Amino acid sequence: MKSLAGYLLHPKIPTNQEDLRIIDLGAGTGIWAEEIADQYPNATIDAVDISADQFPPESFRSKNTHFWTHNCFEPFPEQYLGKFDVVHARFWLCIVNDDVAKQLFENFVTLLKPGGYLQWVEPLPRTAHVVSRNGGAPAPACEKLVQTWMKPTPLSSYDWVHALPRLFQEFKVQVEVEDKFTNPDRYLPIAAQTFLLGLTEYLYKNPEVEKYQEQLAMEHAGGAFVDVACTFVVGRKLVG
Ligand SMILES: C[S@@+](CC[C@H](N)C(=O)[O-])C[C@H]1O[C@@H](n2cnc3c(N)ncnc32)[C@H](O)[C@@H]1O
């Protein structure tokens, strides 16, 4: 993602203030937080997730990162409210449907100082498409993956991601940047490996998934992949 965008934090976000405080929500493995901690050694970085399972072991964390667990749909503890120069959120797509997007967004904004910045990064499901350099051979497994991106379950609804800048405006976070990136060819094979690995998580529900993985892998080897654009939206919390 860093190579795709060319930045971890958009260069428009000021980072030269003393006591810079950054928080990463849904931090997962903490890779973004740890890279940011390396880039800004004088900043303090909080990394929050509902589960500590993927956090790096304490002895492998930077001195300036603080990992803690919290359900981000619940109000944050008082001591964090309005304290952050930058709030970062990435890859909430699989967790959030339209019915709860506003609630989550509003909760995130409570962490920002007035004038603080929110950077939110998501794939755009409706941009999913097959990229094939296979002489026109059919790629049904890739086509199926495109459909899965658009609607993984009958109840999935992702309008909120496509309308992310509107959420910013609604909660008085002025949009400063809306970048969109599609993968160059060189990233598609490695991105495909990640999706294949991700599908393994569904194996326990449906043993057919293994066959689907094999079909996808064959189509990839023949020169057909699925690409999905990513959006990076950056906004500034209005003062007052
Ligand atoms: C797809 S991962 C994204 C990881 C990370 N943001 C990244 O870009 O590498 C989604 C993360 O959200 C976390 N998560 C899911 N529901 C959550 C909640 N209600 N509150 C906080 N974190 C949550 C999951 O545990 C998981 O680590």
> Which has more pLDDT, 156 or 170?
170
Question: Does residue 240 have a pLDDT over 80?
Answer: no
Q: Kindly give the distance from the C-alpha atom of residue 27 to the centroid of ligand 1, in angstroms, as a whole number.
A: 6
Q: Is 197 in the pocket of ligand 1 (CB under 6 A)?
A: no
Structural domain contains residue 160: yes
pLDDT classification of 206: cutoffs 50, 70, 90: confident
> Which has more pLDDT, 208 or 168?
168
Q: Kindly give the distance from the C-alpha atom of residue 91 to the centroid of ligand 1, in angstroms, as a whole number.
A: 7
Structural domain contains residue 176: yes
Range 132-143 average pLDDT: 95
Contact indicator for 83, 60 with CB cutoff of 8 Å: no
Q: Kindly give the distance from the C-alpha atom of residue 152 to the centroid of ligand 1, in angstroms, as a whole number.
A: 18
- Look at residues 3, 37, 4, 1 and name the one whose alpha carbon lies nearest to residue 20: 37
Q: How many CA within 13 A on the CB side of residue 188?
A: 24
Q: Is 51 in the pocket of ligand 1 (CB under 6 A)?
A: yes
Structural domain contains residue 215: no
Give pLDDT tens digits for 95-131.
Answer: 999 999 999 999 999 999 999 999 999 999 999 999 9
Give pLDDT tens digits for 178-193.
Answer: 999 999 999 999 999 9
Structural domain contains residue 218: no
The whole-angstrom distance between residue 128's C-alpha and the CA centroid of its chain comes to 16
Total tally of structural domains belonging to the chain: 1
Range 73-96 average pLDDT: 97
Q: Is 100 in the pocket of ligand 1 (CB under 6 A)?
A: no
Counting ligand 1 atoms within 8 A of each CB, the residue from 4, 55, 91, 94 with the most, and so the one to mutate, is 91
- The whole-angstrom separation of Cα 80 and Cα 68 is 12
Q: Kindly give the distance from the C-alpha atom of residue 236 to the centroid of ligand 1, in angstroms, as a whole number.
A: 23
The pLDDT, as a whole number, for residue 190 is 94
| Mean pLDDT over the full length of the chain | 95
The pLDDT, as a whole number, for residue 132 is 96
- The whole-angstrom separation of Cα 1 and Cα 228 is 12
| CATH number, domain containing residue 102 | 3.40.50.150
Give pLDDT tens digits for 37-66.
Answer: 999 999 999 999 999 999 999 999 999 999
Q: Is 49 in the pocket of ligand 1 (CB under 6 A)?
A: yes
Q: How many percent of the chain have pLDDT more than 70?
A: 100
Query: For residue 108, what are the contacts with CB-CB under 8 A and spacing of at least 6?
Result: 25, 72, 87, 89, 118
Structural domain contains residue 37: yes
Range of the domain at 51: 2-125+154-183+228-237
Structural domain contains residue 15: yes
Counting ligand 1 atoms within 8 A of each CB, the residue from 49, 87, 111, 161 with the most, and so the one to mutate, is 49
- The whole-angstrom separation of Cα 131 and Cα 125 is 15
Question: Does residue 199 have a pLDDT over 90?
Answer: no
Structural domain contains residue 216: no
The pLDDT, as a whole number, for residue 154 is 84
Q: Kindly give the distance from the C-alpha atom of residue 199 to the centroid of ligand 1, in angstroms, as a whole number.
A: 17
The residue nearest atom 12 of ligand 1, judged by CA position, is 26
- Where are any strands of DSSP class E within the chain? 21-25, 44-49, 65-69, 84-90, 112-123, 129-132, 173-181, 224-227, 230-237
Question: Does residue 202 have a pLDDT over 90?
Answer: no
Structural domain contains residue 33: yes
Q: Kindly give the distance from the C-alpha atom of residue 115 to the centroid of ligand 1, in angstroms, as a whole number.
A: 25
Q: Is 73 in the pocket of ligand 1 (CB under 6 A)?
A: yes
- Look at residues 34, 86, 89, 27 and name the one whose alpha carbon lies nearest to residue 63: 34
Question: Does residue 203 have a pLDDT over 80?
Answer: no
